[in-house]
Amino acid sequence: MHKKKLNILITAGGTREYIDPVRFISNASSGRMGYALARAALKAGHRVTLITAPTALKPPAGATVVPVETSAEMFAAVKAAFDRCDGLLMTAAVSDYRPAKTSTHKLKKHNTELVLHLKPTPDILAWAGRHKKHGQRICGFALEDRDIFANAEQKLRRKKLDMVVANPPGAIGAERSTLHIKTRDDNWQTFENFSKTRSAAALLRHFEKLFDTQ
């Protein structure tokens, strides 16, 4: 177990951006990685706040669970909890865009095209990087389908992260996946075809080491 007990903030799942009261834009994130990280952190003796978009998973006992749906709700929840955390693990698949307007009534089907105007959602990870205090550590995830290492390293630097986890699109919703971990001062490390539980344990060990350098 890590010698220092930390307050760890974890986000999980895929956000929903509503078109009307029953339809939304989302993604295939299962939330498994975030929930596995929450369990691993609790097992290591840390205090965990889990901000979770809708999933089919049961939250781990012992975590403070904050349920959200939209990217705006997740952003508000992260803002509310960020000052009290030692570290943020941003595993959630936050929608990059949301409908510019949300209908208050269910849209009826017509024999014409429906055009949706989308606008960008707030960049929660970039906000956290800008507002990080001395001693706080941030880990972000980069889902990349090409130039995986170059794009993830750019994200690490641009958003002022301390650690980045890169994985291919096939990792979404999968029970096993390959992930690549990089901190600012170390080379890439790859974990091939790990279960989410095993990946979470490895990832948490790397995250904990960031606090040994304070």
Instruction: Answer for the pair 9, 74: CB distance below 8 angstroms, yes or no.
Output: no
* Tens digits of residue pLDDT in 36-78: 999 999 999 999 999 999 999 999 999 999 999 999 999 999 9
Question: Is 170 domain-assigned?
Answer: yes
C-alpha gyration radius of the chain: 18
- pLDDT at residue 196, as a whole number: 87
Instruction: List the domain range (segments joined by +) for residue 209.
Output: 7-95+117-213
What is the pLDDT averaged over residues 89-107?
Answer: 96
Q: What percent of the chain has pLDDT over 70?
A: 95
Number of domain units in the chain: 1
Distance CA 136, CA 154 (A): 20
Question: Is 101 domain-assigned?
Answer: no
Distance CA 174, CA 167 (A): 12
Distances (CA, A) of 166 to 77, 143, 144, 176, 214: 24, 6, 7, 14, 25
Question: Is 106 domain-assigned?
Answer: no
Q: CATH number of the domain that 151 lies in?
A: 3.40.50.10300
Confidence of residue 170 (pLDDT cuts 50, 70, 90): low
Question: Is 31 domain-assigned?
Answer: yes
- pLDDT at residue 193, as a whole number: 79
Question: Is 62 domain-assigned?
Answer: yes
Asked whether the whole model's pTM tops 0.85, one would answer: yes
Please check the confidence at residue 11 and state whether its pLDDT lies above 90: yes
Catalytic sites, residue numbers? 27
What is the pLDDT averaged over residues 163-175?
Answer: 78
Question: Is 53 domain-assigned?
Answer: yes
Question: Is 159 domain-assigned?
Answer: yes
The DSSP bridge pattern shows strands 64-67 and 47-52 to be parallel
